[in-house]
């Protein structure tokens, strides 16, 4: 029996399991990190549960999901490129910030503003709002409406 509903292919069960496994591993690592921050004298001092949960959310939203989205056959190639670009910028930022935090011990809050790529991404994706005469590819026109 056919319906008029649009068919959306599902994500392979092994990919869903892999994502859940990554999240479970993050939970274990977070418990270890919480112990080190609060009881073992790690750089940065004590950390609240709320802050740890926010950190877990950020890692899932900024790293895990973009990784799985940019590898998914269900998502259009254009969106996969966007997720891949997002992932690359956050991986580079993470490497730089971890180096500043734990190697040079020179991280200060203003570095977040310098290293934060969201402004650049917002300008790139919303460039037609700022530069209406700019030429875009047909794919970009479909994304922007």
CA distance 134 to 128: 7
CA distance 85 to 45: 33
Q: What's the mean pLDDT in 51-61? A: 92
**Lowest-confidence range among 37-41, 81-85, 100-104, 107-111?**
107-111
Residue ranges in 13-76 assigned as alpha helix (H): 13-39, 49-59, 65-70
Q: Determine the straight-line distance between the first and last CA of the chain, rounded to whole angstroms.
A: 34
pLDDT in tens, 12-35: 677 788 889 999 999 999 999 999
CA distance 67 to 56: 15
pLDDT in tens, 88-144: 888 888 888 888 888 888 877 777 766 665 666 666 666 555 555 444 455 555 555
Among candidates 29, 47, 50, which has minimal Cα distance to 38?
47
The domains of the chain are located at 13-144
Q: What's the mean pLDDT in 64-69? A: 90
The pLDDT assigned to 124 comes to 61
Q: What separation in angstroms does the CA of 23 have from each of 16, 19, 30, 89, 132? A: 11, 6, 10, 21, 41
């Amino acid at each position: 029996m056919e319906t008029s509903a649009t068919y959306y292919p599902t994500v392979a069960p092994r990919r869903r399991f892999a994502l859940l496994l990554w999240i479970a591993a993050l939970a274990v690592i977070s418990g270890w990190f919480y112990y080190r921050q609060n009881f073992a004298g790690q750089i940065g001092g004590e950390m609240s549960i709320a802050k740890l949960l926010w950190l877990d959310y950020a890692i899932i939203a900024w790293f895990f999901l973009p990784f799985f989205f940019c590898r998914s056959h269900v998502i259009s190639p254009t969106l996969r490129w966007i997720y891949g670009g997002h992932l690359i910028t956050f991986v580079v930022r993470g490497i730089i910030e971890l180096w500043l935090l734990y190697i040079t011990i020179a991280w200060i809050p203003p570095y977040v503003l310098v290293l934060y790529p969201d402004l650049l991404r917002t300008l790139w994706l919303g460039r037609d709002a700022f530069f209406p005469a700019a030429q875009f590819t047909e794919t970009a026109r479909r994304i922007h409406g």
